[in-house]
Amino acid sequence: MRIACAALALLACACHQFDPGEPEESTHQKCLRRAVFGDPAFSAYVLPYPVGSSYRLLQSYCSGGSHLNQLAYDFYMIVGTPITAARAGTVLQSVDLYEDSDRDGRHVNFLMIGHADGSAAFYAHLRLGTQRVKVGEEVAQGQRIADSGHCGTPLPDLHFGVYRSWPAHSGDDLAINFRNADGPLDERGGLMVDVMYLALPY
């Protein structure tokens, strides 16, 4: 029950305007203090879609909107786009209940995949019935795990974020980039809004 509640709280942060009851600048600055990226060449992560594909970033980390206090990325994708594991790990949690026509922000299909260092990646807004992995299953980096969908979000996209531990909590997210992303990075080393990122071989 605690795990389910933690997942719902995480989804609320991922999919809704963050409203902590404090000035926006303060919240934004807190997010930016966590936004410390390493050299992408040494990142453990690859883009969460197949090599040779390119997708535009709708929201980046700390970029306002629902990501005001989120170290996460939203990639614009048509419904049915293949989603691949950004890092090898074990499936920790899965929700596969909601149709693409369901715009309720609390209704989101997702996968949570844990990694060897205890962190966990969150893949959200997945298409109903397309998850190819189950809880407890080992997943290889680059393995197709689901298709993108349109549940719980205004536009069809993949919401991707990484958390220090699991169950995940708001504010416990990690700043990550991708070693195979072909495209510009900002001064901190993160991906930029409205840029197309090509997934290179790795």
DSSP string, 105-147: TT---EEEEE-TTS-EEEEESBPTT-----TT-EE-TT-EEEE
Of 96-105, 113-122, 179-188, 192-201, the least confident = 96-105
- Reported as a pLDDT band with limits 50, 70 and 90, residue 24 is low
pTM of the predicted model, to two decimals?
0.89
pLDDT at 142: 98
Domains of the chain: 2-199 (2.70.70.10)
Report the C-alpha gap between 110 and 94 in whole angstroms: 6
How confident is the model over 31-64, as pLDDT tens digits? 999 999 999 999 999 999 999 999 999 999 999 8
Q: State residue 10's pLDDT score.
A: 55
